[in-house]
């Protein structure tokens, strides 16, 4: 079966997941997480991607970003692939692939799903049973978005900025969103969009994306539930 082509729209948020080859680990030490974040910050600035949220898990990463250009997201993963994989191979004396050959991604309707997608990403360690609270896991964007910890990687999205007039107000409003988490329907919608590459939004949003990219973009399957991400 031929692979579905990816599509990106400048200025439209993208949720992307990249997994380790054969679901193997991509981080082995705290220094590896720090190096990945350094790479992410530098490459994102170079290629024109604003990063709004992330979760660095043992064998995969979640990113929520907005590309400036059609090719910005693709260049981001290419750039990280070159720099970070070289670092890992040199540090651990290894060879071969680190990442799966193809990352998964989908566009996000910012007005409806941007904040839900941020929570979905930052709750990953909790869903994985690694910690009891997102604040207990060091390698996500939660500390910055919810607690105000400085983070040079991140650029706040306008939907996040609209949560309050001051940084304290925004952080308090964002923390309050986590009291309810991401409901079951939203989680299912995010997973289905990620599995199929279908834009995350209502039919009107999908039609808008199709008009922008000039072709059908498909619809999330109503069949078996998507694999957990």
pLDDT along the chain (229 residues), means of 10: 69 96 94 98 97 98 97 95 94 90 91 94 96 97 98 98 97 94 86 90 87 73 45
CA distances from 179 to 52, 81, 111, 172, 185 (A): 20, 36, 20, 11, 16
Number of domains in the chain: 1
* pLDDT on residue 5: 63
Whether residue 1 lies inside any domain: the answer is no
* pLDDT on residue 95: 87
Whether residue 201 lies inside any domain: the answer is yes
Whether residue 143 lies inside any domain: the answer is yes
Whether residue 138 lies inside any domain: the answer is yes
Whether residue 153 lies inside any domain: the answer is yes
Q: What residues make up the domain containing 159? A: 14-211
* pLDDT on residue 208: 87
CATH number (domain holding residue 144): 3.30.70.1290
Three-state SS sequence of 117-179: HHHHHHCHHHHCCCCCCHHHCCCECHHHHHHCCCCCCECCCHHHHCCCCCHHHHHHHHHHHCC
Whether residue 2 lies inside any domain: the answer is no
Give the pTM. 0.91
Whether residue 6 lies inside any domain: the answer is no
Cα–Cα dist 118/227, whole Å: 19
> Quick one: tokens of 137?
């896991």
Of the candidates 220, 172, 60, the one whose C-alpha atom is nearest the C-alpha of residue 125 is 60
Cα–Cα dist 37/17, whole Å: 15
Whether residue 51 lies inside any domain: the answer is yes
């Amino acid at each position: 079966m031929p692979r579905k082509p990816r599509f990106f729209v400048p200025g439209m948020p993208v949720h992307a997941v990249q997994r380790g080859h054969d679901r193997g680990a991509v981080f082995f030490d705290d220094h590896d997480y720090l190096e990945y974040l350094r790479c992410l910050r530098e490459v994102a600035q170079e290629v024109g991607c604003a990063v709004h949220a992330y979760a660095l898990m043992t064998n995969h990463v979640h990113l929520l970003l907005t590309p400036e250009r059609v090719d910005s997201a693709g260049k981001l993963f290419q750039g990280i692939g070159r720099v970070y994989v070289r670092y890992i191979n040199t540090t651990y004396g290894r060879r071969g692939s680190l990442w799966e050959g193809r990352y998964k991604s989908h566009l996000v309707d910012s007005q409806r799903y941007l904040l839900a997608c941020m929570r979905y990403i930052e709750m990953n360690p909790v869903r994985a049973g690694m910690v009891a609270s997102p604040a207990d896991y060091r390698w996500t964007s939660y500390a910055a978005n919810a607690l105000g910890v400085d983070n040079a990687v991140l650029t706040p999205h306008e939907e996040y900025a609209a949560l309050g007039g001051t940084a304290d107000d925004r952080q308090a409003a964002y923390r309050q969103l986590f009291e309810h988490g991401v409901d079951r329907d939203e989680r299912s919608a995010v997973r289905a969009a990620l599995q199929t590459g279908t834009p995350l939004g209502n039919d009107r949003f999908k039609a808008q994306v199709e008009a922008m990219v000039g072709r059908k973009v498909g619809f999330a399957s109503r069949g078996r539930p998507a694999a957990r991400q």
